[in-house]
Amino acid sequence: MPWPPQLQDVKDYVGVTDSRDDVSLQVALDAAVSYVEDVLAGSYNFTGELLSVLPAPSPRVVQGTVRYAARQHSLRRSPDGTIDMGELGTARIPTNDPAIEQLLGIGRWRAPMVG
C-alpha cells in the first residue's frame, strides 16, 4: 500500500460509494496523514527518499491512518463527545482507539526510545 493513503481508501473503509462526503473525508484524511507523519517522524520514510535508511510506511501504518481518518470523520457528528443511545441514554465516546494505536505503533504500543 503506497503512502500516503488516498481518499478512495477511506471511502472503501467506511463504505461510501458516492461523492457527497468527499470534502470532509479528504480534510479528515489530510489531518490523519499529517498527524501520523508528525508522531512517527524518524521511524518511517514518508517522503519516499531513495537514499533513506528508514523503511517505507508498512501496510499496518497505512491502514491505521485510514482508520484514524475514518474515526475523525465520524466524530464530527458528535462535537461534545457523546452519542445518544435512545432509551439507554447518552454514552461518552472514548477519545482514543486502542486498535488504531496498535496499528500505528503509538501510545502504549510505541517501542521504547532511548536518547
Domain regions of the chain by residue span:
7-109
Beta-ladder partners of 91: 83
Residue 70 scores a pLDDT above 80: yes
Q: Which helix or strand (DSSP H or E) is residue 91 part of?
A: strand 90-92
What is the reported pLDDT for 95? 73
If pLDDT is split at 50, 70 and 90, which confidence band does 34 have? very high
Look at residue 115 in the predicted model and tell me its pLDDT: 63
More confident residue, 2 or 62: 62
Instruction: Return d(Cα 60, Cα 109) in angstroms, integer.
Output: 13
pTM of the model: 0.85
| Mean pLDDT computed over 30-52 | 95
Least confident of 39-48, 57-66, 103-112: 103-112
pLDDT for 1: 73
Task: Determine what percent of the chain is predicted with pLDDT higher than 90.
Answer: 63
Q: Which residues contact 54 (CB under 8 A, 6 or more apart)?
A: 42, 43, 44, 45
